[in-house]
Structure 1
C-alpha cells in the first residue's frame, strides 16, 4: 500500500502502535472498521477555474495519517484510489461511488481522501446507492449533508465541477425520492455571489457565515444545529480545507481570507460525531503543490484522526 510508513516506537508498558502499523488492504468479509478511499482528481477544480494540484492529495494525506497513534481496536483499511486521468470526471465519480457503496454495505465508516471537492458528488452518489437499496427493503432514511466550507458549491453549470456537487446532490435526491437537507457551515460572504446565496435560500439550505461561528456564539450555534439534526437519520460529513484560515491551510485550491479556527471547527466536528448518525466522511481540496511544510496535510490528518475516533465512540454507546 502506497504512502503508509513511519516511525515505530518501542512498546514497554502499553500500546505504542501508529496507523501505518495497523492499516491493511480492504478485503471482502473483513470486520467493520474505518476504510479510507482516495479520489485522486482535480478535474473538477480545472473545470471550475481553480488552481489544480489536488490529485496529489490522497498520497499526502496517507503520509500524514501514518504516524498518528492508534486510539482503539477498530480495524483500519485502505481501499486504494480512484483516479481521474482522462478528463472523464463523471466516470471517475461513478467508479468511486460504486466502491463507496460497497464499503457502506460492508458496515465500514468510509473516509474519502481528496482530491478536489468534486469528491462530494461521488461520495453522495455512493451513499445514495447504499440508502436507496435499503429503502427498497422498507427502510427510508432522512439524510443531512453537513459541509464545512467557505463556499456553497451550489453552482449551476453545464458540466459538473468542484463548484457544483451539492446542487447535484440536491437535484439527484429530489429525482430519486431521497429526503435530503444541506447544511453549509463557515460560508464566506466575500467568496460567494448573490446568486449562490439565492440558490441556497431557494433550496432551504441551513448555513452559517464564518464570522457567525465564533467561540462566543458556539454554544448557541451548536444547540440550533443539533435541534435540526434530531429528525435526521444519516449524516454525510464533508470537510473542505479552505474553511480554515489561509495561514493554517495554505495548500488548497482557493485559500480563505478569514476562515474558521480549529478552536471552532473541532467542537463542531465533535458535536456532529456525537449524534451517532455519521455514515461517511470526506476531506477535500488538499493541494500539496501549494502546501508549506505539509501544514495543510497535517491539519487534515488531525481532523480525520479526531472525527473518526469520535464517531467510533458515539457508535459504541
Structure 2
C-alpha cells in the first residue's frame, strides 16, 4: 500500500476522487448549510445570471443555482457510475473467472453467453431499454448499464484465469486435494486484483459517461439531478448559442476531472500489479536523478 501511494499520480487521483465522493455523500448537507440554496429552487430575480454575487457559479435559464446543482449532481452521477461498475465488474468476475478456471462444459456455456452479449449492439440496445423504462430513475439506468457492460471484462478475466489455473503451484494444490472454491477465492482472485481494480475504475467512468449521454438524448428521469441532466437542460435551452457557458462547463469539467483522476489511479494500480512497470518506473526515476545531479555538477 505504501508503494501504491508513493506515486504523485495516485495521490492526485485519489484526492480528486475523494473530493467528489465527499460531495456525493454530503451533498444535501452542503447545499442546505453551506450554499444555502435548494438546487431545484427558482430565483426569478436572477435568470441566467453570470457567476458572482449570491450565485458563485451563476444561474440557469430557470433561475436555479448552478453550484447547488453541481453539488447535488455529484451524487446522481457517481451513484450511476459506482453501481453500474459494481454490477458489471461482479458479473465479469463471476462469468470470466468461473469460465476460465473450471473449463470444460462450464467454460463452453459461459463463453457462449459472453459472446452473445458481446456482439449485441450496445448503444442501440441501451437506448431502447432505457427509453422503454423512461422515468424510472437512476437505479434503472445504472442497472441497464451494468448488465450490458460486463462481457469485455469477462473475456479478459477468462483468459487470465486460464493462464493462472495451469500454473504449477495450482496444479500441485489441486493434486493435494485443495477445494476448488478455496483455490478460486484465495489463489486465483488475488492474482487478478490489479486487473479487477482497473476494470472497476474503467467501468465507473463508462457508467458516468453513459448516464450523461442518455441524459443528453433525453432518455432519463427529468426529476433527477445529475451532471448529465444539467448538460441536457443546457442543450435544450441553447446555452451554447446564448453564451451561458457557466451552465454546461462546470458539469462537463467535473466529468472530465473524474475521468482524469480514475486514469491516474489506474496508472498506479498497473505499476503495483505489474513488476515490469515497477522496474521501469524505478529505472526512469534513477536516470532522472542521475541526470539532475550531473546537471547540478556542471552548473
- TM-score, normalised to structure 2's length? 0.28
Higher helix residue share = 2
Structure 1 or 2, whichever has the larger Rg, is 2
Higher relative contact order (CA 8 A, sep 6+): 2
Higher strand residue share = 1
- TM-score, normalised to structure 1's length? 0.27
